[in-house]
Structure 1
Amino acid sequence: MSTTAQPDSRPVRMVFTTRAGGVSSSPYDSFNLGDHVGDDPEAVAANRRRLAESIGLDPADVVWMEQLHTNTVTVVDGPSPDPVEATDALVTTTPGLALAVLTADCVPLLLADYAAGVVAAIHAGRMGARNGIARHAVEKMVELGATPSNIQAVMGAAAAGRDYEVPDEMAADVEKHLPGSRTTTTKGTSGVDVRAGLVRQLMELGVTAIESDPRSTVTDEDFFSYRRDGVTGRQASLIWLNPKVVK
Structure 2
Amino acid sequence: MQTWQWTTWGDRRYLTCSLLAPWRHGFFTQQFWPQLPQDLVQVFHPHAQVNRVKQVHGNRVLTPSELQQPLGDGQDDTLHAADGLVSDGDTQSLWVCSADCVPVLIGDRHTGQVAAIHAGWRGTAARIVPQAIARLQSQGSCLADLQVAMGPAIAGEVYQVSKTVAAELGESLTDRPKEDSATASPESIESVLQKLQNLPNPPIYPDEHPERVRIDVRRINQLQLEHLGLEPQQVAIAPHCTYQSPQDFFSYRRTKQKQVQWSGILSAST
Give TM-score, length-normalised by structure 1.
0.79
CA distance in 2, matches of 1:78, 1:170: 32
Corresponding residue to 2:150 among 142, 155, 160: 155
Summarize deviations over 1:197-229 as a string: whole Å, max 9, x none: 111111111222001102111111110111111
CA distance in 1, matches of 2:220, 2:93: 26
**Aligned in 2, Cα 1:49/1:91: closer, same or farther, shift over 3 Å?**
closer
- Return the offset for 1:6: 7.6
CA distance in 1, matches of 2:16, 2:66: 22
Which structure 2 segments of 5+ residues have no match?
Answer: 1-11, 69-76, 175-195, 197-201
Summarize deviations over 1:97-127 as a string: whole Å, max 9, x none: 1000100000001111131232110110000
CA distance in 1, matches of 2:58, 2:223: 20
Instruction: Name the structure 2 match of 1:212.
Output: 237
Q: Amino acid of the residue matched to residue 171 of structure 1? A: A
- Return the offset for 1:194: 0.8
Corresponding residue to 1:202 among 202, 225, 237: 225
Corresponding residue to 2:107 among 112, 116, 127: 112
CA contact (8 A) 2:37 2:262 kept: no
CA contact (8 A) 1:118 1:145 kept: no
CA contact (8 A) 2:96 2:103 kept: yes
Instruction: Name the structure 1 match of 2:43.
Output: 54
Q: Mean alpha-carbon deviation: is it higher for 138-147 or for 116-125?
A: 116-125
Q: Amino acid of the residue matched to residue 61 of structure 1? A: Q
- Return the offset for 1:84: 4.1
> 2:248 matched to 1:225?
no
| Identity rate, percent | 31
> Which one has the largest radius of gyration?
2
CA distance in 2, matches of 1:18, 1:124: 18
Instruction: Name the structure 1 match of 2:125.
Output: 130
CA contact (8 A) 2:160 2:214 kept: yes
**Aligned in 2, Cα 1:142/1:63: closer, same or farther, shift over 3 Å?**
same
**Aligned in 2, Cα 1:117/1:84: closer, same or farther, shift over 3 Å?**
farther
Map 1:162-173; keep pairs closer than 5 Å. 162-173=157-168
CA distance in 1, matches of 2:16, 2:156: 27
Instruction: Name the structure 1 match of 2:52.
Output: 64
Corresponding residue to 2:13 among 2, 9, 34: 2
| Residue-pair matches, total | 219
Which structure 1 segments of 5+ residues have no match?
Answer: 23-30, 33-43
**Aligned in 2, Cα 1:206/1:131: closer, same or farther, shift over 3 Å?**
same
Instruction: Name the structure 1 match of 2:214.
Output: 191
- Return the offset for 1:54: 3.0
SS in structure 1 at match of 2:220: helix
Q: Amino acid of the residue matched to residue 41 of structure 2? A: A
Corresponding residue to 2:97 among 85, 97, 102: 102
CA contact (8 A) 2:84 2:116 kept: yes
CA distance in 1, matches of 2:168, 2:58: 17
CA distance in 2, matches of 1:49, 1:16: 15
- Return the offset for 1:83: 6.0
CA distance in 2, matches of 1:86, 1:74: 9
Instruction: Name the structure 2 match of 1:241.
Output: 267
Cα RMSD after superposing both structures: 2.6
CA distance in 1, matches of 2:207, 2:63: 39
